[in-house]
Structure 1
Amino acid sequence: MLSDPLKKTIRNAHQRIASSMDDYRPRASQNYLVAEIAKTLAGEYDKKQRICVVEAGTGTGKSLAYCLGALPLALKRNKKLVIATATVALQEQLLYKELPFFAQHSGLTFSYDLVKGRGRYICAHKLHNAVNGEQEQLALMPTLSSPLSDMEQKCLHQLHDAYQNKQWQGDRDSWADVIPDRVWHLIACDKHACQRQMKAHQTCPFHLARQKIAQMDVLVANHSLLLADLELGGGVILPEPENCIYVIDEAHHLPHITRDFSSAAATLKGTQDWLEKLLKFSGKLAQTIFSASASGSQFKLNDALDDVARGMKAVLSMLDSADFQYTEDDTYRFSHGVLPQQLTVQAKDISEASKTALRTLNKMHEALSSDVNDGDVKPFIADPILAESGQYIARLETLQKLWQSYAKESESVPHARWIKRMEYKNHHDYLLSDCPIEVGFYLKDKLWRECAGAVLCSATLSALGSFEHFAHESGLRSEQGVKFIKVPSPFDYPNQAQLHIPKTECEPTDKAFSDYLAKALPNTLDKSKANLVLFASYWQMHHVAERLRKQGWDILMQGELSRDTLIRRHKRRIDDAQGSVLFGTQSLSEGLDLPGDYLTNLVITKIPFAVPTSPIEEAQAEFVEQKGGNPFLSITVPDAAKKLVQSCGRLLRKERDSGVITIFDRRLITKRYGKAMLDTLPPFKRKIDY
């Protein structure tokens, strides 16, 4: 229960924040959100599962709301507050604006920091070896195929000098200039070579950062880092889930990012090539290990690798002779994820052999690490060996994950499995892929049932007026105690914006639609103001831009410049009272913040339906059909509805913003699903031409 002292703490913090903001206005929706988050996390709705799913419209102030609702309770109960975001922009906003302001004015005493993956830090020992090693030696490093160029060498020495002189803390993001990938891969921290238990690595930046994390009250991370921690069992990168209250912002991304983390892929001939290199490397590794038992481990490893290679050769031969009907992009998907019996048999053998190889290589790697720690092997000799064995361990982990899944003949969670045929000048290869269709079970087992509490929030979590689609995708459907909350935006939509659906000469599905857009857009755009046109495809965007440019239109188009440069030029034109026309695709419909005069005229060319052409999307549709459902209505329409809301959300960013949204898609009023989509949009003033 939420105690009276805790309620008072939250109220006092809210009052202090309000009095510190010049433009603060009391918002009933924000107050409600603070109360509901606090009550959920305090266990007033369910004592075991303290989870709330929040859809908060633009302008609600949800970051302030979840800080007020969650942080006092986390501090009181000695839990870490982990805020996970999907974008760097939101992380930076939290770190450099929201949290410093909250810490200064709320009256609460807390510490906060950013948590980054180890790959964003240097390994100090690797940096030292890279600078002090000979060029010939560096060329033999597993991360380099040729010696560093003069420019790369100069950068390497600059990094070393700055780190030695304590002018740089050793993370990639704080270095002012771009660090070339070849240089970074040579010195980056990795979990196999840079281990805290090894004396030479205890002061490496990553390990020092992790020690600092243990002292923080609030940790800001991204979704990928959160999932990486769960993949390792939880409590490895971040604190243990049972000691964390999670705020998952931009939560609509979570199911898709989880699916990517659960996927695996490997080529056949490409794998055979690195298996041969690993066979040769195993001798070097065994000779470096101090223990006399290393030779026995080497024989066991090599036997397992031979078994893997034999299995891969058999699969290659089978695929060469198989009569699969490949698509135009050389892809063949196994219907319902069911493999031919012959391939399943081979998968079982490869899975077992790769498991043995992985276990043995890990054992040898740990033995060498111990030798370094005990002083039996010099670090400068072991480090390049450990770095190389670490790369092979990572490859074996992925390989084993793929074939272990392929070996399963029946499973409760359906998988998409497919092959891509790859043609080269002198040879061919096959890329085999595996991906679970649904990941809700994973999040349920690894996160929701383990954490101390969770708040999932976004401006777009419901679809067609219901949380059902997101709840199913994220594993929260039918879970006891989950509180679903929808908080409206404080915007005065009817007076701030107009939604216009004009007459059109053809449907968006017609071939002539692109030419029609090129003819109709000049009458919709305003050269003196800020315009954003969102397209459903790159091809259509380029086609229309080419036509308009021939008519003298000056267009800023996504893909021709970096996103940052594009937005800067757009804003500069508006600041100079020149007007601007910005063309983009779906990726500009989210996370793009153009308040005030920076956007007053938004054009959406068509409903952003996804075409189910990828093997994963095809498998999802097939799975829904198998259960008697309609994939268009249960997957495609809800996804498109959420994207349409996101697209329309670009126009109004502040309470004083205003403008017009034009949508060139009559299906919003002619189709039943279109009317349902239209009803989920904010209550803009509507102008529909008939």
Structure 2
Amino acid sequence: MLSDALKKTIRTTHTSIAESLDGYRPRKSQNYLVAEIAKVLAGEYHRSQKICVIEAGTGTGKSLAYCLGALPLALAKKKKLVISTATVALQEQLIEKELPFFKEHSGLDFKFDLVKGRHRYICVHKLNSALDEDMMQMSLVPTLSSPLSEQEKNCLVALQNAYQNKQWQGDRDSWADTIPDRVWNLIACDKHACQRQMKSHHLCPFHLARQKMAQMDVLVINHALLLADLELGGGKILPEPDETFYVIDEAHHLPHITRDFSSAAATIKGTLDWIEKLLKFSQKMANAIVSQKAIGQNFKLNDAANDAAKDLRSVRDLLDQADFNYNDDDTYRFEHGIVPEQLTLKAKDISDATLDALRALNKMHDALTLDVSDGDVTAFLADPLLAESGQYINRLEQLQKLWFSYASKGDSIPHARWIKRLEYKNHHDHLLCDCPIEVGYYLKDKLWRECAGAVLCSATLSALGTFDHFAKESGLKGEEGVQYIKANSPFDYPKQATLHIPTTDKEPTDKAFSDFLADALPKYLDRTKGNLVLFASYWQMEHVAKKMRLKNWQILVQGEFSRDALLKKHKSRIDSGHGSILFGTQSLSEGLDLPGAYLENLVITKIPFAVPTSPIEEAQAEFVTSKGGNPFLSITVPDAAKKLVQSCGRLLRKETDQGKITLLDRRLVSKRYGKAMLDTLPPFKRQIDY
């Protein structure tokens, strides 16, 4: 329960913040959120399950609300507050703006920091090794398919100089220029090679950051790092879940990111190639180990790796002879995720052999690490071996995950499983993929039932008027004590914006719709204002842009510049008193902040329905159908409704903004599902032509 002292602290903090904000106006919805968040985390609704799901419209001030509602409680209860986001933009906003302001004016004494995964930091030893020709020969060849170019070598030299001269902190995000993936993969920190107990890695940027983390009260992370910690059992990278209050901002991304995180994939020939290299490498590693504990592990590793390779060759032959009906994308999906008996049997053998190899290699890796700690082996000799064994451990983990799933029969959790044929100049290969269709069970077991409390928030969590779709996706359906809260935006929608649905000559399903857009769009654009046109596909956007440019329309098109450069050009045109027309796809419908004159005219070309063409989406639809459901109504329509709300949310960013939304898709008024989607949108003034 919330004590009187805590209530007083929250009120006092709220007052201090309000007095420090220029032009602050009390918002009922924000006050409501602060109170509800505090009550949920204090256990006033449920003693053990302290979770709330919040849909807060634009302008509600949700980040300030969860800081006010959760942080005083976390400090009083000696819990950590972990704020997880889906985008770098929101992380930067929290770290550079929101939290510094809150700390300065709240009267609360707390420390905060941004926490990034290992792979965002360099391993200093790897960086130095990458510029040493002899070390390259010893340790890093498996990561490169071809030698580094001069430009890539120059990038490495620049990184090393900047780090040694303390002009760079050693993380990828603070480097001003782009670091090519090939270069970064050579020098990135990883959990196997860059270990804190080894003296040569004490001062690596990642370990310095982790030491600092223990002193923090508030940690800002991304969803991927949250899932990485849960995968390890929780409390291995981040604080223990039962000692943590989580704020999951941009929570609508969590189910999809969890699904991607839980997937696995591997090729056949590619795997056989690196297993052959592993067999050669294991002897080199065994020769370096002094510890008696690792005796015999090399033989076990070789036996297991040879068994796995033998079975993989059998699978290769099986797939070459199989009469699978591959689609135009060279993909074959197993119906209902059911793998043929022959493949299932081989999968079991490969899974077992891979697990044995993984255990043996882990023991060798740990033994060599111990030798270095004891001073029996120099770090100079061991580090390249540990770096390479770490790569093989990661590959074996992924391989075992894939084949263990393929070997599973009668899963209670539905999976999508598929094969993609890969054609090269001199050979072919098969990529085998696996992905769970539903991940709610994972979040339920690993997070919701373990954490001290959680606040999930976003501007779009409900679909068609209910939270049911999100609750099912995220594993909260049927969970006791979960509070579902809607906080209305302070915007005066009917006064600030008009939603216009004009009559159209063509339906979005018509092949001539793209040409229709090119002819019709000029009627709905204003050359003197900030315009944004959102398309459902890159092809359609580029087709329309090409035709309109022939008629002397100046258009900024997504993909022709980086996102930052594109927005700078758009804003520059507006700032200089000219209009600007920005063309973008669905990725610009979220996280894009163009307040005031930067966006006054928004055109949405069609309802953003996802076309179920990927194996995962096909498997989802198949699963829903097998249960007697309608995948279009239960998956496609709710997802499209949320995306449409996000798209419309680009127009109004502040209470002083005004503008118009034109939607060139008549299905909102002509189809039965259209009314429900229309009612999901904010109450803009409506202009529907007939």
Normalising by structure 2, we get a TM-score of 0.98
Q: 1:587 and 2:587 equivalent?
A: yes
Query: Which residue of the partner structure matches residue 681 of structure 1?
Result: 681
Aligned letter for 2:571?
K
The alpha-carbon deviation at position 156 of structure 1 amounts to 3.4
Query: Which residue of the partner structure matches residue 444 of structure 1?
Result: 444
Aligned letter for 1:243?
E
Specify whether residues 167 and 510 from structure 1 end up closer, same or farther in structure 2 by C-alpha distance, changes over 3 A only: closer
Query: Which residue of the partner structure matches residue 106 of structure 1?
Result: 106
Q: 1:555 and 2:555 equivalent?
A: yes
Query: Could you tell me how far apart the structure 1 residues matched to 2:232 and 2:136 are?
Result: 37
Query: Which residue of the partner structure matches residue 569 of structure 2?
Result: 569
Encode CA deviations 1:206-254: one digit per residue, 9 max, x unaligned. 1111111010000000011101111111111111111110000000000
Query: Could you tell me how far apart the structure 2 residues matched to 1:149 and 1:513 are?
Result: 46
Specify whether residues 669 and 179 from structure 1 end up closer, same or farther in structure 2 by C-alpha distance, changes over 3 A only: closer
Query: Could you tell me how far apart the structure 2 residues matched to 1:451 and 1:118 are?
Result: 23
Query: Could you tell me how far apart the structure 2 residues matched to 1:221 and 1:27 are?
Result: 28
Query: Which residue of the partner structure matches residue 41 of structure 1?
Result: 41
Q: Is the 8 A contact 2:294 2:363 kept in 1?
A: no
Q: Is the 8 A contact 1:52 1:454 kept in 2?
A: yes
The alpha-carbon deviation at position 540 of structure 1 amounts to 1.2
Aligned letter for 1:120?
R
* Identical columns (%): 75
Q: 1:605 and 2:588 equivalent?
A: no
Q: How does 1:80-479 map to 2 (within 5 A)?
A: 80-131=80-131, 134=134, 137=137, 141-145=141-145, 148-291=148-291, 294=294, 296-479=296-479
Query: Which residue of the partner structure matches residue 23 of structure 2?
Result: 23
1:246 aligns to what SS in structure 2?
Answer: strand
Query: Which residue of the partner structure matches residue 642 of structure 1?
Result: 642
The alpha-carbon deviation at position 544 of structure 1 amounts to 1.1
Normalising by structure 1, we get a TM-score of 0.98
Query: Which residue of the partner structure matches residue 481 of structure 1?
Result: 481
Query: Could you tell me how far apart the structure 2 residues matched to 1:144 and 1:427 are?
Result: 20
Specify whether residues 604 and 339 from structure 1 end up closer, same or farther in structure 2 by C-alpha distance, changes over 3 A only: same
1:623 aligns to what SS in structure 2?
Answer: helix
Query: Could you tell me how far apart the structure 1 residues matched to 2:272 and 2:116 are?
Result: 34
Q: Is the 8 A contact 2:129 2:136 kept in 1?
A: no
Q: Is the 8 A contact 1:138 1:144 kept in 2?
A: no
Query: Could you tell me how far apart the structure 1 residues matched to 2:135 and 2:443 are?
Result: 47
Aligned letter for 2:245?
I
Query: Could you tell me how far apart the structure 2 residues matched to 1:532 and 1:288 are?
Result: 61
The alpha-carbon deviation at position 667 of structure 1 amounts to 0.8
Aligned letter for 1:630?
N
Query: Could you tell me how far apart the structure 2 residues matched to 1:292 and 1:145 are?
Result: 36
2:191 aligns to what SS in structure 1?
Answer: coil
Q: Is the 8 A contact 2:130 2:136 kept in 1?
A: no
Encode CA deviations 1:115-138: one digit per residue, 9 max, x unaligned. 011111122333344456647647
Query: Could you tell me how far apart the structure 1 residues matched to 2:404 and 2:464 are?
Result: 39
The count of corresponding residues between Structure 1 and Structure 2 is 690
Structure 1, unpaired ranges of 5+ = none
The alpha-carbon deviation at position 198 of structure 1 amounts to 1.7
Aligned letter for 1:177?
D
The alpha-carbon deviation at position 318 of structure 1 amounts to 1.0
The alpha-carbon deviation at position 424 of structure 1 amounts to 1.4
Query: Which residue of the partner structure matches residue 494 of structure 1?
Result: 494
Aligned letter for 1:503?
T
The alpha-carbon deviation at position 146 of structure 1 amounts to 5.3
The alpha-carbon deviation at position 293 of structure 1 amounts to 6.0
The alpha-carbon deviation at position 150 of structure 1 amounts to 4.7
Query: Which residue of the partner structure matches residue 506 of structure 1?
Result: 506
Encode CA deviations 1:467-501: one digit per residue, 9 max, x unaligned. 00000000000000000000110000000000000
Specify whether residues 155 and 604 from structure 1 end up closer, same or farther in structure 2 by C-alpha distance, changes over 3 A only: closer
Query: Could you tell me how far apart the structure 2 residues matched to 1:107 and 1:467 are?
Result: 36
Q: Is the 8 A contact 1:255 1:440 kept in 2?
A: yes
1:81 aligns to what SS in structure 2?
Answer: strand
Query: Could you tell me how far apart the structure 2 residues matched to 1:376 and 1:162 are?
Result: 33
Q: Is the 8 A contact 1:138 1:147 kept in 2?
A: no
Specify whether residues 533 and 318 from structure 1 end up closer, same or farther in structure 2 by C-alpha distance, changes over 3 A only: same
Aligned letter for 2:80?
K
Query: Which residue of the partner structure matches residue 578 of structure 1?
Result: 578
Q: Is the 8 A contact 2:297 2:364 kept in 1?
A: yes
Q: Is the 8 A contact 1:287 1:294 kept in 2?
A: no
Q: Is the 8 A contact 2:139 2:388 kept in 1?
A: no
Query: Could you tell me how far apart the structure 2 residues matched to 1:260 and 1:233 are?
Result: 18
Q: Is the 8 A contact 1:500 1:688 kept in 2?
A: yes
Encode CA deviations 1:338-359: one digit per residue, 9 max, x unaligned. 1111111111100100000001
Encode CA deviations 1:240-285: one digit per residue, 9 max, x unaligned. 1111100000000000000000000000111111111111111111
Aligned letter for 2:195?
Q
Query: Could you tell me how far apart the structure 2 residues matched to 1:118 and 1:574 are?
Result: 41
1:221 aligns to what SS in structure 2?
Answer: strand
Query: Could you tell me how far apart the structure 1 residues matched to 2:306 and 2:24 are?
Result: 69
Query: Could you tell me how far apart the structure 1 residues matched to 2:194 and 2:378 are?
Result: 15
Query: Could you tell me how far apart the structure 2 residues matched to 1:666 and 1:562 are?
Result: 33
Query: Could you tell me how far apart the structure 2 residues matched to 1:104 and 1:275 are?
Result: 55
Q: Is the 8 A contact 1:139 1:146 kept in 2?
A: no
Encode CA deviations 1:659-690: one digit per residue, 9 max, x unaligned. 00000111101111001000010000000111
2:296 aligns to what SS in structure 1?
Answer: helix
Specify whether residues 277 and 333 from structure 1 end up closer, same or farther in structure 2 by C-alpha distance, changes over 3 A only: same
Q: Is the 8 A contact 2:138 2:384 kept in 1?
A: no
Q: Is the 8 A contact 1:139 1:147 kept in 2?
A: no
Query: Could you tell me how far apart the structure 2 residues matched to 1:451 and 1:136 are?
Result: 44
The alpha-carbon deviation at position 506 of structure 1 amounts to 1.8
1:258 aligns to what SS in structure 2?
Answer: helix
Query: Could you tell me how far apart the structure 2 residues matched to 1:177 and 1:321 are?
Result: 48
Query: Which residue of the partner structure matches residue 653 of structure 1?
Result: 653
Aligned letter for 2:518?
A
Query: Could you tell me how far apart the structure 2 residues matched to 1:557 and 1:76 are?
Result: 50
Query: Which residue of the partner structure matches residue 60 of structure 1?
Result: 60
The alpha-carbon deviation at position 295 of structure 1 amounts to 5.4
Q: Is the 8 A contact 1:440 1:473 kept in 2?
A: yes
Query: Could you tell me how far apart the structure 2 residues matched to 1:148 and 1:427 are?
Result: 25
Structure 2, unpaired ranges of 5+ = none
Query: Could you tell me how far apart the structure 1 residues matched to 2:633 and 2:302 are?
Result: 52
1:662 aligns to what SS in structure 2?
Answer: strand
Encode CA deviations 1:420-452: one digit per residue, 9 max, x unaligned. 111112111110000000000000000000000
Aligned letter for 2:377?
V
**CA RMSD of superposed structures (Å):** 1.5
The alpha-carbon deviation at position 550 of structure 1 amounts to 0.8
> Which segment drifts farther, 577-586 or 631-640?
577-586
Specify whether residues 486 and 245 from structure 1 end up closer, same or farther in structure 2 by C-alpha distance, changes over 3 A only: same
